Structure 1
């Protein structure tokens, strides 16, 4: 029975550590990315295509 008390105490301690780590990460701006990198990556590819199309059009003129 005493093992259960030890396991509960350790699990609560681990949960508090993760909660503190999460709060610190939020305060440091870790989760402030409102525009995800995957979407930015897609838009960067489109910009490169647009630039290459405009460069090819200007070379043809």
Structure 2
């Protein structure tokens, strides 16, 4: 029974903190555009970087002059 004297104020404090965080989120426009964030998952805007792959492929298929000298 004595633990209720501690738990009830702690619970009230948590509720006050939760309400304050909720009102902060509403005032800072955290809930303005909920649909866009859901659609961002479905859209693939990142284009693959082909320059690195092409450079790597060229290096593998066409050895440089230094590699040619090392081999001979």
Whether 1:3 aligns to 2:3 is yes
User: As a proportion of its length, which structure holds more helix?
Assistant: 1
5+ residue gaps, structure 2, are 48-72
Q: What's the counterpart of residue 39 of structure 2?
A: 39
5+ residue gaps, structure 1, are 49-61
Larger Rg: 2
Distance 2:9 2:27 in 1: 27
Count of aligned pairs: 46
TM-score (normalizing by structure 2)? 0.50
| 1:4-38 Cα shifts (integer Å, max 9, x gaps) | 12101101101110110110110110111142323
TM-score (normalizing by structure 1)? 0.57
**Which aligned segments of 4 or more residues in structure 1 are displaced greater than 3 angstroms?**
none
